[in-house]
Homo-oligomer: A and B are copies of this chain.
Amino acid sequence: MTITVAIDAMGGDVGLKVTVPASVRFLQDTPDVNLILVGDSAGIEAELAAQPASVRARITVQHTTQVVGMDEAPQLALKNKKDSSMRVAINLVKDGQAQAAVSAGNTGALMATAKFVLKTIPGIDRPAIAKMMPGTGGETCVLDLGANVDCSPEQLLQFGIMGAELAASLQHKQNPTVGLLNIGSEDIKGTDNIKRAAELLRESGLNFYGNVEGNDIFKATVDVVVCDGFTGNVALKASEGLAHMIATFLREEFARTWWTKLCALAALPVLKHFKARVDPRRYNGASFLGLRGIVVKSHGGTDALGFRIALEQACEEVRANVIGHITDRVASQLQNLKRPESEA
């Protein structure tokens, strides 16, 4: 099966100079994918001219006249930017011309547009943002990372189902374990919402591990960590902030004197290897789950390598039929919930 991915070529802090080279490099490594680059066609063609021509035949350019600003209000973008590269890329998924859309643009606008154009899967109240996070014991899928500030217990259950299907697909895990983010492992911990969500998850048929705490994310205690979007977003950004602080301190220590600089030189191969291992670009690509189409959000500030990783993730989701699996699982879950009523 040949996969077609629509790319919001204008999205991100840099735009074309990242998205186009990344697209070309990605196609060179991935034979079964075609790309539609959506955006200003003259700009895209100019960027393509600078790239090796070998994969040009597998790229279609779709011209659009508008760009959604990185700080634009989502509702305004939705209303006024109907010919934006972001909107048209998602339209292509809706129309079946592409199986996935990838954008490094404005997260809020991308979510609002994706929700409006693609709609949610039956049984899913609202989409969630999910991301794989590194850990000492492997990777963990965490959701929601910011799409929903308030979450009902039912929504947290839906996140569990969606996260489990994503982990099963991307990590090839059989029956992945699902944990509920809380402030202690005991059942009495947390808000009423969290306690009720734990009950729903326990009864759901998912491989529910129970409560997990913030540090479990980076230990890969479970395959999937479920949380509301407020908590998830704060945890993600606090972690990014801490990683940045540690990197800064490490750099400062090695740059302190000529002697420490010599030490850095000696340790360079090891430090490089370490840096590659914790490189955030390797974990770029957040999945918008719960929609009737695949949308992957790349970090706005990433480079061509990071954007390629997001492209790969989108294709993995297509190959694994994540949306089909989520749809089936939610449908059977709804069936189970209905059964007791009809028996009553």
Tell me the A residues contacting B by CB distance below 8 Å: 134-136, 146, 149-150, 181, 183, 189-191, 194, 213-219, 227, 229-231, 233-246, 248-250, 253-254, 256, 260, 263-264, 266-267, 269-271, 273-274, 277-278
Contacts and interface: CB of A to CB of B under 8 A. Distances in A.
A213 B191 contact: no
Contact of A213 (B213, B217, B237, B277): B237
Contact of A266 (B149, B189, B235, B266): B266
A270 B277 contact: no
Contact of A219 (B135, B241, B249): B241
Contacts of A236: 214
Contacts of A278: 246, 249
Given A213-B233, A215-B237, A256-B270, 6 more contacts: A136-B245, A181-B234, A183-B233, A214-B234, A243-B246, A254-B267
A233 to B, nearest CB: 4
A246 B246 contact: yes
A194 B194 CA distance: 19
B242 A270 contact: no
8 contacts: A135-B241, A135-B245, A136-B244, A136-B248, A214-B236, A214-B240, A231-B231, A256-B270
B238 A217 contact: yes
Contacts of A243: 242, 246
A80 B244 CA distance: 46
Contacts of A234: 181, 183, 213-214, 227, 231, 234-235
A142 to B, nearest CB: 9
B230 A254 contact: no
Contacts of A240: 214-215
B241 A215 contact: yes
Contacts of A233: 183, 213-214
Given A183-B229, A248-B136, A254-B270, A239 B237 contact: no
A278 B239 CA distance: 15
A234 B149 CA distance: 15
